[in-house]
Structure 1
Amino acid sequence: MTDHDRDLRARLVAAGVELVATGGVQALGLREIARHAGVSHGAPRRYFPTHRELLGAIAQQGFGRLTDTLAGADALAAATGAEARTRLDALARAYLGFAAANPGMFELMFRHDLLEGSGAELRRTTLPLFLTLAGLVAEVHPQSDDPATATAALWSNLHGLAQLRAWGSLGLVTGSEDIEPLLRAALDAHLGPAAP
């Protein structure tokens, strides 16, 4: 691949990142991405054999940003000498914050119906993050036989909170948009109550 090809490929991905931020997943048509990148409507097919591969490349940018966001939150908590439970709290808040600040990208990142075929690359992007979470969960529950399952359950709960908040469903059942009591309940359910 030439430098020109790499540049055009990067422009298409960057155009998709901008479009998903402003218009959500529904804005990610091939023609719209090409138009936004300033190229012909056939250009995306030269660099991404399928629409799903282009969407996967856009989603990978989102996973990279999420990973950076969570790594920053964890580094900040770890730098203060925080224990595993406190670090998990910081990571959970960063995850929910990323979801709220990037609703279009967050939706795309987890729309596996749209990203089919890109899964292996995306899993490589997220596996280190998951392993960090699992290591912290194992510190909180050293007697656990299966920290990976406990981590997946916690992540599922956090993801559900993020998605229900995005859909506006939490206010319907709780009478409030305040996610704090739900976050506290989720963390306590999976990790035990925080130390006073």
Structure 2
Amino acid sequence: MTHETSLRERLVDAGVELVMTSGTAALGLREIARQAGVSHGAPRRYFPTHQALLSAIARRGFADLQARFAAATAGTASPRGRLHALGRAYLGYALEHRGMFELMFRHELLTSGQEEPGRPRLRESTLPLFEHMAGLIAAYRAERTAPDRPGAPGGSLPPASVTAAALWANLHGIAQLWAWGSLQLVLGSAPSAAGTPDGDGLDQLDQLDRLVAAALDAHLGRDVA
């Protein structure tokens, strides 16, 4: 690793640490430079814009999320089962790394016409994840309409990309509303003073798993064995 590459990676490392511990509000250029132990002007030597540095930080998040998707779906063969595992991994990442999750999908902050020459634009990190979801939906539909499969859906269906977008929005909404405590309130599972869920006694993972299943039922129909 060259000295220039090392300094560049230190800035990205510093940004990742800040967003993980303090959220997106901490990602000013001066604070990132201070965290990296370099001068205030150093980031401009490696990133043409603030957005370019934020995009490099967000790409780390997408790489981590992609690895989690791969691990979560590795032992599952069916398209619907993979979608369920993907949904659980998405929500798990959102709640575990709230600051990074918020940054990753703020494209109005990240997209820049002056991104680093020779490096992939952020869209090259985000689009494959969405396309993977749309591909699984298309595969599931093909599986359901097989001649030997009962309960095939009737009528015309929206394109897999539209259904994927709606499912993604649903999952993202679950993540945000859960992080704000809104879903726990309406589901009667708000944390008690001791940190233990009230209501029906289900822990957080069980509740989120049920919400993922409900989202899949809403967008794909109930699965018929």
Provide TM-score, normalisation by structure 2: 0.78
Deviation at 1:195, TM superposition (A): 4.3
Question: Which has the higher mean CA deviation after the structures are superposed, 142-151 or 9-18?
Answer: 142-151
2:213 is aligned, of 173, 184, 195, to 184
Structure 1: distance between partners of 2:210 and 2:111: 35
C-alpha RMSD of matched pairs (Å): 2.0
| Aligned length in residues | 191
Which of 158, 163, 184 aligns to 2:171? It is 158
Deviation digits for residues 143-177 of structure 1, max 9, x if unmatched?
Answer: 65611111111111111111111222212333225
Look up the match of 2:10. 11
User: For 1:116-141, what per-residue CA distance to the aligned partner results, in whole angstroms no more than 9, with x for missing partners?
Assistant: 31797121112222222111101221
| Cα distance in structure 1, aligned partners of 2:126 and 2:26 | 25
Q: Identity over aligned residues, as a percent?
A: 59
Say whether the 8 Å CA contact 2:51–2:110 is kept in structure 1.
yes
1:67 positional shift: 1.0
Cα distance between partner residues in 2 of 1:179 and 1:28? 30
Cα distance in 1 between the residues matched to 2:85 and 2:210: 15
1:85 aligned partner? 80
Q: Does residue 1:113 correspond to 2:113, yes or no?
A: no
CA shift in 2, pair 1:145/1:108, >3 Å: closer
Separation of aligned partners in 1, 2:175 and 2:92: 9
- Please give the alpha-carbon distance, in whole angstroms, between the structure 2 residues aligned to 1:94 and 1:126: 16
2:210 and 2:140 mapped to 1: Cα distance?
Answer: 21
Aligned to 2:202: none
The answer for the alignment partner of 1:43 in structure 2 is 42
Q: CA deviation digits over 1:33-63, x for unaligned, max 9?
A: 1111111111011111221111111011111
* Structure 1 residue 190: Cα displacement: 1.1
Shift of 1:21: 0.7
CA distance in structure 1 between the partners assigned to 2:180 and 2:45 by the alignment: 36
CA displacement at 1:104 relative to structure 2: 0.5
Q: Distance in 2 between matches of 1:70 and 1:180?
A: 15
Q: 8 Å contact 2:68–2:89 — kept in the other structure?
A: yes
The aligned amino acid for 1:167 is W
Deviates more, 1:122-131 or 1:59-68: 122-131
Name the CA distance, whole Å, in 1 between partners of 2:69 and 2:122. Answer: 16
Q: Compare 82-91 and 163-172 and name the one that shifted more.
A: 163-172
Identify unmatched segments of 5+ residues in structure 1.
none
8 Å CA contact 1:67–1:126 kept in 2: the answer is no
Q: 1:130 aligned to 2:130? A: yes
Alignment partners' CA distance in 2, 1:35 and 1:195: 56
* Contact persistence 2:88–2:208 (CA under 8 A): no
Q: Which residue of 1 aligns with 2:140?
A: 140
Consecutive unaligned residues of structure 2, counting only runs of 5 or more, are 146-156, 191-206
Which stretches of structure 1, 4 residues or more, deviate above 4 A after TM superposition?
A: none
